[in-house]
Amino acid sequence: MYQNSIEQPDVFWGEKAQWIDWFKFPQEILGTNQHGLPQWYADGELNTCYLALDRHVEAGRGDQTALIWDSPVTGNIVHYTYTELRSKTAQFAGVLHQLGVTKGDRVIIYMPMVPEVAIAMLACARLGAVHSVVFGGFAAHELALRIDDAQPKVLLTATAGIEVDKIIPYRPIVEHAMMEAHHKIPHAIMLQRSVHPENIEDSVFQDWYALLEAATPVGCTPVRATDPLYILYTSGTTGKPKGIVRDNGGYAVALRFSMEYVYGVQPGDVFWAASDVGWVVGHSYIVYGPLITGCTTILYEGKPIKTPDAGAFWRVIADHGVKVLFTAPTGFRAIRKEDPDGHLKNKYDISCLKYLFLAGERCDATTLEWASNLLNIPVIDHWWQTESGWPMLANPAGQTLLPVKPGSSAIPVPGFDIAILNHDHEPAAVGEEGAVVVKLPMPPGCLPTLWNAQDRFVESYLSAYPGYYFTGDGGYCDEDGYFFITGRIDDVINVAGHRLSTADMEEIVSTHKAVAECAVVGIADELRGQVPMGLVVLKAGATIEEAALEADLVQMVRDQLGAVACFKRAVIVQRLPKTRSGKILRKTIRAIVDQVPYSVPSTIEDMTVLDEIKGIIFRST
């Protein structure tokens, strides 16, 4: 199957396109877009909301549960059948339609894990509008950046999110962002949550349910396969997030295929991605993938621990008959820390669980082994990213499972011709580490471009290795063809499965009045995989104590980027390693932190600074 997908991609993906319903089946399977780059199903027409909801109702699946909202933080468990979810979505699409939202318009969604967030996404898809969900852990400035880039007609929000037992009021964040953004959003809608009601009379916000009552349901608007379904911003190597664009047709085909091939599920199965809709995992495997496949999906407003305890996952699995769980390794590290022997699992019958999938960050062998021993089912590390939209490396549960090798995300998924290229841009030898790239064309579902930034798209992903897409990750391949992803080779870090840019944090840190210059690097963390640490050089004459500076910087990063960055450490250094031309040697600092060998650049200004930095980093970790 894999060989076919690489040798005859048009035949392979032409066949897979038949797994979904089209309003107009594409004649052209693989073509070329106006930029000379590959594109899928260009003349096909469909509607992703139709695929996720209406089609199942029409096919007699209407009474099956489509979505379960499980919210330990509010004490709610609510089931929605496909018929109910379709009718709520059509009604909310009516709200957006009344406000003038049509095909191609953008809608920003800044909401917690409530069912209305999935309904809002699907309602946008129904209208052919483009949603952009912003993770609720991001601060006002990050939201403002996304508003300015996406230029939405409508913003959707709620009065609050809940972090374990802490209410996070959204209104001040949203108001601040709307003030800061240059783009003025015509309409803002707020969902009242009983845990935190807001008086929104005389405010810019309109009431979600008042609008809903007055709306008329609307049907599905046909869109072209290549029309955008959503923009999802992700961290790049600069402070400006990248707007990953996702199309409709290729994405639907890829998700449908992956649900069966990678995750081994069938229509009717219960699939749970314990993530957040603000991340790509939430888009692909809480909302679209399971629903397009006719599964039951779970939208969980809680954590692996503390809601109420480290048995939270087992309780959800048992209550809802989950067949496949997908989460980040950090979630399991958190459970192991609280309940090292996994005693809490014994309170529940979780025999329904057949596979555990882990992704979002490197999975350490200890966590993989702990989870395998505890659950006694295959634990599958698989690798992908916001840009790909679906797994690129995996051990395919829908086929014959290969033996698991801890530390490896296994083999390429059909459609992904993955290679490791060395410094000379040549294929690396077995076991030799290099840049992980994907030969063009990428299969359906992957990003066709960046929102309003085609040049940045080419520069970020396609120019380093002509003919290949550069993933930003390093890795190697062993003698059995298993791939091992060793980590980012750019300035992106992964904190508890959350992808963050150190450049973004550096921009914030460098605005402190005592800071002359800084470098932010990811340091190893037992729970979160990595956490950021700031290395700061003070301005001449600045007298601030390290502890006071650290407290200021921590607060600044929380306020401007968000608590999710977990920026908690900053140390004062006398100088940073630089080239003679003044460029900070971030790559070298990263290598020191990761304790991997590095070659000292010949352009370095002063070698002794490396030993100083080494001493400081290890003293403070």
Q: Are 495 and 532 a contacting pair, CB within 8 Å?
A: yes
In the chain, what's the furthest Cα-to-Cα distance?
74
H-helix or E-strand containing 257? helix 249-261
Instruction: Sheet with 130-133: list strands edge to edge.
Output: 205-207, 187-191, 154-158, 106-110, 130-133, 228-234, 242-247
Establish if 305 lies at the interface with ligand COA (CB under 6 A). Answer: yes
Q: Which is nearer to ligand AMP, 170 or 483 (CB)?
A: 483
β-strand 492-495 against 498-501: which pairing, if any?
antiparallel
| CB of 227 or CB of 361, closer to ligand AMP | 361
Residue 560: contacted member of ligand COA, ligand AMP, none (CB under 5 to 8 Å, by partner type): none
Contact 392, 436 (CB under 8 A): no
Nearest approach in angstroms of CB 488 to ligand AMP is 5
| Apex 140 CA angle, 135 and 141, nearest 5 | 105
Return the one option of ligand COA, ligand AMP, none that residue 269 interacts with (CB less than 5 to 8 A, by type): none
Question: Could you tell me the sign of the dihedral formed by the alpha carbons of 117, 122, 128, 131, in that order?
Answer: positive
List interacting residues with ligand AMP (CB under 6 A). Answer: 234, 279-280, 359-363, 381-383, 385-386, 409, 471-473, 485, 488, 494, 499
Nearer to ligand COA, 82 or 567 (CB): 567
CA distance 275 to 500: 16
Nearer Cβ to ligand COA (472/497)? 497
Q: Which of 497, 522, 532, 577 binds ligand COA (CB under 6 A)?
A: 497
For ligand COA, the binding residues in 502-531 under the rule CB under 6 A are 527
Among 167, 168, 401, 514, binds ligand COA (CB under 6 A): 168
Q: How far is the CB of 117 from ligand AMP (least distance, A)?
A: 18
In the chain the first and final C-alpha atoms are separated, in Å, by 47
Which of ligand AMP, ligand COA, none does residue 334 bind (CB under 5 to 8 Å by kind)?
A: ligand COA
- Can you point out the beta strands (E) in 226-301? 228-234, 242-247, 270-273, 296-300
328: contact with ligand COA by CB under 6 A: yes
Binding status of residue 302 toward ligand COA by CB under 6 A: no
Judged by beta carbon, residue 109 or residue 185, the one nearer ligand AMP is: 109
Smallest distance, ligand AMP to C-beta of residue 486, A: 8
Residue of 279, 288, 314, 461 interacting with ligand COA (CB under 6 A): 279
Contact 66, 46 (CB under 8 A): no
Count the residues of the shown chain that bind ligand COA, applying the rule CB under 6 A. 24
334, 519, 572, 617: which one binds ligand COA (CB under 6 A): 334
Helix (H) or strand (E) holding 23: none
Q: Residue type for 248, please?
A: N
* Residue 371 Cα distances to 25, 67, 275, 355, angstroms: 43, 26, 18, 11
**Least separation, in Å, of the C-beta of 484 and ligand AMP?**
9
Which H or E element spans position 490?
A: none
Rank residues 276 and 361 by Cβ distance to ligand AMP and give the closer one.
361
- Which residue, 122 or 368, is less far from ligand AMP as judged by CB? 368
Q: Is 266 left (phi over 0), alpha (psi -120 to 50) or beta?
A: beta
Compare residues 311 and 497 and give the one whose CB is closer to ligand COA. 497
Cα-based distances in Å from 390 to 277, 415, 481: 15, 11, 20
| Least distance to ligand AMP, CB of residue 385, Å | 3
Q: Is 360 an interacting residue with respect to ligand COA (CB under 6 A)?
A: yes
Number of H helices, E strands in the chain: 20, 31
Residue 93 belongs to what H/E stretch? helix 82-98
Angle at 235 between CA 494 and CA 148, to 5 degrees: 150
Q: Which of 118, 265, 503, 566 binds ligand COA (CB under 6 A)?
A: 566
- Closer to ligand COA by CB, 16 or 498: give it: 498
**Binding span for ligand COA by CB under 6 A among 211-219, 309-317, 562-570, 578-586:** 562-570
| Partner touching 473 among ligand AMP, ligand COA, none, CB below 5 to 8 Å by kind | ligand AMP
Residue number with CB closer to ligand COA (10 or 338)? 338
Asked if residue 331 binds ligand COA (CB under 6 A), the reply is yes
User: At what angle are helices 171-180 and 140-150 packed, to 10 degrees?
Assistant: 50
Residues that bind ligand COA (CB under 6 A): 136-137, 161, 163, 168, 275, 279, 281, 303-305, 327-328, 330-331, 334, 360, 496-498, 527, 563-564, 566
